[in-house]
Amino acid sequence: MEYELTTEELAFLRSQGLGPDDVFDARWMSQARWFREIKEAGKTVALGNPCRKAGHRLRSRKGHCVQCDTKILAFAGRYDLKQYLYVAGSLSARLIKIGVCKDLLQRIRQICAERHGDARDWEVIYAVEIDRAGEIEDRILSRLGRYAIDSHYWKNGFLQQSIELRRCSISHAMEAMTAEIDGKECYLAINWRDKSAYEFK
């Protein structure tokens, strides 16, 4: 699927916490057929006919252009998904990253390969599987808003800005995480006993 998508479309998906695996190729199907099959395939977005307004090709499960109105996707897609919400750290960059993904191992390889914060030594220090992970991630990031940094990384040959990096201690990140997931049902996937190396100042 990745090769069917333009760099702009891939960047858009990434900005929504999605990737090529979340896309269903609906280009050669009748609407009635792909409305049914996209659900069976468990995909969030359809690659369909260009929208009237701007020629975008990414559609919601109901056929709306998700690039013209990203709110559609926020509600229809990632906000509802049960995903991993994680806190990662890099000792070399002295940075903390908050993120959401479906596959933890694959995501670690990806953030190292893309050199977020110019680092290749990212480790997931804490992760939970939880409903509406994307929405919770947004709230944690805003709690840690004052630690935001301006950083860029390379993706598909394009320089992208990372909005998920924070220059803060692991304790601050964990405080924000705990405050947001407290009382919610979740499955603890990773929790390093000793996080002291990541107490950045």
* C-beta closer to Zn ion: residue 44 or 169: 44
Alpha-carbon distance 46 to 161, whole Å? Answer: 25
* C-beta closer to Zn ion: residue 72 or 108: 72
Q: Interface with Zn ion by CB under 5 A: which range of 54-62, 89-97, 132-140, 181-189?
A: 54-62
Smallest gap from residue 67 Cβ to Zn ion (A)? 5
Smallest gap from residue 57 Cβ to Zn ion (A)? 8
Q: Interface with Zn ion by CB under 5 A: which range of 8-16, 53-61, 132-140, 183-191?
A: 53-61
Residue 91 binds Zn ion, judged by CB under 5 A: no
- Tokens representing 97 are 């990253």
Smallest gap from residue 64 Cβ to Zn ion (A)? 9
Q: Interface with Zn ion by CB under 5 A: which range of 10-18, 46-54, 89-97, 120-128?
A: 46-54
* C-beta closer to Zn ion: residue 68 or 197: 68
Smallest gap from residue 49 Cβ to Zn ion (A)? 11
Total interface residues for Zn ion by CB under 5 A: 7
Q: Single out the residue of 128, 114, 139, 137 nearest to residue 11, CA to CA.
A: 114
* Interacting residue with Zn ion among 23, 44, 45, 56 (CB under 5 A): 56
Footprint (CB under 5 A) of Zn ion, residues 135-174: none
Q: Single out the residue of 147, 50, 153 nearest to residue 96, CA to CA.
A: 147
Alpha-carbon distance 32 to 35, whole Å? Answer: 5
The answer to whether the beta carbons of residues 26 and 48 sit under 8 Å apart is yes
Q: Can you give the binding site for Zn ion, defined by CB under 5 A?
A: 51, 53-54, 56, 65, 67-68
